[in-house]
Every structure is written in structure tokens, then in C-alpha cells.
Amino acid sequence: MKNKIQHKRYDIEKIKKLPRFDDILAEKLKDSEFKKRHLLAVRRLNLAQKIIEEREKTRMTQSAFAKELKTSQSFIARVESGNQNITVDVLMRMADVLSREQRRTVVFGISGTKKC
């Protein structure tokens, strides 16, 4: 007996009427507390992305990077996913390791915002 895969049928007209993500976000951003948390999350993810990009330029694995920093690979994974708060000291050590490996100065470019 063959298993038949049933495909779920979607009502395209119903889908078209669903609110767009941008519209929902714009509405939520009217709440100042939500806006602060959202902007902080965006900045954290931007920093995480920059760390990933700089680490990948060195062709270092998370494990090798962690070893240089005397920490664990899981810590690096959490940092790179934006789910780990880090100290300024850790950020400076990351910049030092990446600068040494790339033979150039690595700048993470953290800046303030008037939006919070």
C-alpha cells in the first residue's frame, strides 16, 4: 500500500488579506518600550553579524576562535546568535584576536543611537 501525501490547499485570497509583517512591526514600534527592546535587539544582531564576518575572514572555526579567547565554542555560538551578553573586555579580546589573525585593525563600530 502506497502512502499518499496530501497537499494542504491554501486559500490565496485569505492569505492576501493577512496583515504584512512591516505593518505589524510599524504598529508595535509605536510603543516606546517595545521600540527600545527592538532597537537593542537589532543592534545586538548587527554586532553578532560583524563578529561572524570578521571571524570568517580569518577562516577560524568557532572552536578555534574560542580556544584563542580561552572560552567555549558554545559561548561563541551564543554570541554569534545574538543570545549572549558580553562584556567590553570580551569584545576587546575578540577584536585583538581577529586583528592579530588578519594583520589589520578590526573595528566593531558600536555607536549610540538617538532612537532609544
pLDDT, position 115: 62
d(CA 77, CA 84): 9
pLDDT band for position 36 (cuts 50, 70, 90): very high
Confidence (pTM): 0.74
Domain ranges of the chain: 40-106
Q: Looking at the domain covering 40-106, what would its CATH class be?
A: mainly alpha
d(CA 111, CA 76): 22
pLDDT at 1 over 60: no
Q: Which residues contact 95 (CB under 8 A, 6 or more apart)?
A: 106, 107, 108
How many other C-beta atoms can be found within 10 angstroms of the C-beta atom of residue 65? 24
